[in-house]
Structure 1
Amino acid sequence: MSVPTLPDITAKTIITDRLSTRVLFAGPDDGVPVLFVHGNASSATFWEDVMLALPEGFRGIAPDLRGYGGADRAAKIDARRGMRDFSDDLRALLDTLGIDKAHVVGHSLGGAVIWQMMMDIPERLITVTQVDPGSPFGFGGSKGLDGQPTQPDFAGSGGGTVNPDFARLMGEGNRAADNPQASPRIVMNSFYWKPPFVPAREEDLLSSLLSEHVGPEQYPGDFVPSENWPNVAPGVWGPINAMSAKYAAPVEGLYAADPKPPVLWVRGSDDQIVSDMSLFDFGTLGKLGAVPGYPGEDVFPPQPMVSQTRAVLEQYAARGGSFREEVIEGTGHTPYIEKPAEFNALLHAHLQRGA
């Protein structure tokens, strides 16, 4: 699926030793690089307006990740590596572009990728900006501020937790709004931003969502049956399995990072996807009575995603790093699209402090 780009955004196919993919560029070729990493069910398209608004002297770079958009469809995500396939791909992209160091900005799943980059290549990151990132302990399958497993096999996370009708409609390229539980357009407008907000580029952003690679080894990925509630455990393929707590890298890697790039953490005040009561987490759904057989909050509480991130960043700061938490009021999961002026002011100040 071809997604249009805004004027002054250049799209190129970049081939590295790991991946061929579409990469968007904005700003001068010799500008200070800012690498943007998109989230799940989206692509580099989501970052275009932010890239065009960068201060003078900065160069925006936004690739489609493995499994998304214009990336080679033959390149699969080995979920057993957690976020490492993505991190290695981005390191290869920087190498291919001849970039030694870059600012990095990640959203949602892209934020989870950046946690991994902070462990793998901290010396190449000038600053880090996290926007409603996935918890450092993964998405689903953990509890408490220290990310302990909710079940021994991490049941309740991974590919089996995705609404199969949503994945099917995505794969069909469905643009309708006739299924209130699964239409990609309704899901996007209900959860990506806080209703009743609808972005001016709704159609392009929906095309971006629909460009994710769908299949049993892509999105949503495979799963295995489990004796533990809710009776599905992670498989080994695709981004949702890769995000499971089962495959998350130990957070001690963040605390040991050297150097420790400064972190700006921006989140929407009303995010329903990444929160301490995420409507995409089986702990929350069970507690609300939406999934039968719930074993109780003592066994499977809602994952405290925001509180986990804060606890990890506090330890990161205690070990010599630094972070700032900023909340943009009245926004959902994508504040940089909902309130771009507020987001850009925070981002630009952070970039310039780190320049």
Structure 2
Amino acid sequence: MPRMETEQRTVTANGITQAVRVAGPPDGTPVLLIHGNCSSSLFWEPLIRRLPPTLRIVAPDLRGYGDTGTAPVDATRGLRDFADDVAALLDDPALFGASAARPVVVGHSLGGGVAMRLLVDHPQRVRALLLAAPVSPYGFGGTRDLTGTPTTPDFAGTGAGTANRDFVARLAAGDRSAEAQASPRAVLRATYVADPGALGTDEELLLDSLLSTRTGDDNYPGTSAPSENWPGVAPGERGVLNALAPTWFRLADELVAVVDKPPVTWVRGDADVIVSDTSLFDLAYLGSLGVVPGWPGEQDCPPQPMVGQTRAVLEWYAGAGGAYHEVVLPGCGHTPHLERPAEFVAELLALTDVPAV
């Protein structure tokens, strides 16, 4: 099978300059790839190499990542800034050909939330969704049950104030070392995948992608606000981690209310430590382990059931006329397309109706 080769383009859309990676013929079956947090479209390169050349791949760098411009993220819109940027690309004939694009939309992690937002706002433009280790439809952290009930009124313990300051500083400095636990390379190896060997010869490319993240109040991680509730910090109104917080990103009801529901495939690893019911990035879970002091206990501040919430919402989606398919990959971490590429490609091709080669 001929190897897919990517080309980098620059597009002005939704008022910002966006870098977009494309591959395949303009009239090919369209697939839109939306990357996650602390990464870029480069994170899709290992997957794109494995795809048949009959697909038209469009993979943008989201604002503040990769080679796209450093535009601010208004957290009060949830992930809608990102979704609006992506939606503005769909009518570009240089990207998707002459006809209005209705791609299979693949979203990883934060990109899964962007994909869900895109579906809610533009349901007629989405052929199908493939959600890879997506953020919960109730946001990241700060909720206690399968219906997204807030743990505290201000969603304390979520948003930019929860970011590891050493990691942010090393990210801003472009640190490529591996010695410190909070170095971007160490985080890549320890949390993005279950087995660092899965990074293979692409580790430097993937680290380049991670290090392309812009830091600051308007991007990663964003601003924070003081809270009277444990652990003393609540989401601010600017930046990426606040856009993921349940204060601003909660779309379960809207997702289920979409009239024409495309099929959804949800792929996740059972060894994911980022999006998990026992997430190492959820302060409530870390508090239960004694890592974050002062945790008020299970009754007042239980860990967020992230996986359970996503399943509950997708069951609700199916009960309202949609359809979903859950794929659990044993021993796989947070990045299924890197760790289990054959299975991931098979699920993607099943949504495109393009035969596997």
Shorter-chain TM-score range: over 0.9
CA separation of 1:220/1:303 partners in 2, compared to 1, >3 Å: closer, same or farther?
same
Q: 2:89 aligns with which of 72, 90, 93?
A: 93
**Matched length:** 347
Check whether the contact 1:55–1:348 (CA below 8 A) recurs between aligned residues. Answer: no
Matched, 1:31 2:32: no
Aligned twin of 2:49:
52
Work out the CA distance in 2 between the residues paired with 1:300 and 1:249.
19
* CA-CA distance at 1:56 after TM superposition: 4.1
Match of 2:265, SS state, is strand
Aligned twin of 1:136:
137
Identity of aligned residues (%): 50
CA separation of 1:127/1:250 partners in 2, compared to 1, >3 Å: closer, same or farther?
closer
Check whether the contact 2:223–2:236 (CA below 8 A) recurs between aligned residues. Answer: yes
Q: Which sits farther off after the overlay, 193-202 or 64-73? A: 193-202
Unaligned regions of 5+ residues in structure 1, if any?
1-5
| Partner amino acid, structure 1, of 2:256 | Y
Aligned twin of 2:288:
287
Work out the CA distance in 2 between the residues paired with 1:258 and 1:19.
31
Correspondences of 1:74-89 after superposition (within 5 Å): 75-89=71-85
Check whether the contact 1:159–1:221 (CA below 8 A) recurs between aligned residues. Answer: yes
Aligned twin of 2:313:
312
Aligned twin of 2:187:
187
Correspondences of 1:169-318 after superposition (within 5 Å): 169-180=170-181, 182-199=182-199, 200-318=201-319
TM-score, length-normalised on structure 2? 0.94
Matched, 1:61 2:62: no
Deviations 1:300-343 (A, max 9, x none): 11100000000000000000000000011221000110121121
Matched, 1:13 2:14: no
Match of 1:290, SS state, is coil
Matched, 1:161 2:174: no
Work out the CA distance in 2 between the residues paired with 1:134 and 1:196.
22
| Partner amino acid, structure 2, of 1:193 | V
Work out the CA distance in 1 between the residues paired with 2:133 and 2:324.
14
Check whether the contact 2:13–2:88 (CA below 8 A) recurs between aligned residues. Answer: yes
* CA-CA distance at 1:238 after TM superposition: 1.1
TM-score, length-normalised on structure 1? 0.95
Deviations 1:84-123 (A, max 9, x none): 1111111111123464311100000000111111211111
* CA-CA distance at 1:198 after TM superposition: 4.2
Work out the CA distance in 1 between the residues paired with 2:218 and 2:344.
35
Work out the CA distance in 1 between the residues paired with 2:239 and 2:128.
28
Match of 1:270, SS state, is coil
Quote the RMSD (CA, aligned, Å): 1.5
Deviations 1:40-69 (A, max 9, x none): 010000112222322342111100001211
User: Which contiguous aligned blocks of 4+ residues in structure 1 show a shift greater than 4 angstroms?
Assistant: none
Check whether the contact 1:54–1:60 (CA below 8 A) recurs between aligned residues. Answer: no
Aligned twin of 1:343:
344
Aligned twin of 2:124:
123
Unaligned regions of 5+ residues in structure 2, if any?
none
Work out the CA distance in 2 between the residues paired with 1:61 and 1:90.
10
| Partner amino acid, structure 2, of 1:189 | R
| Partner amino acid, structure 1, of 2:306 | M
Check whether the contact 1:39–1:106 (CA below 8 A) recurs between aligned residues. Answer: yes
Check whether the contact 1:15–1:21 (CA below 8 A) recurs between aligned residues. Answer: yes
Deviations 1:11-66 (A, max 9, x none): 11111133211100111121121000000010000112222322342111100001
* CA-CA distance at 1:196 after TM superposition: 4.1
Work out the CA distance in 2 between the residues paired with 1:243 and 1:293.
24
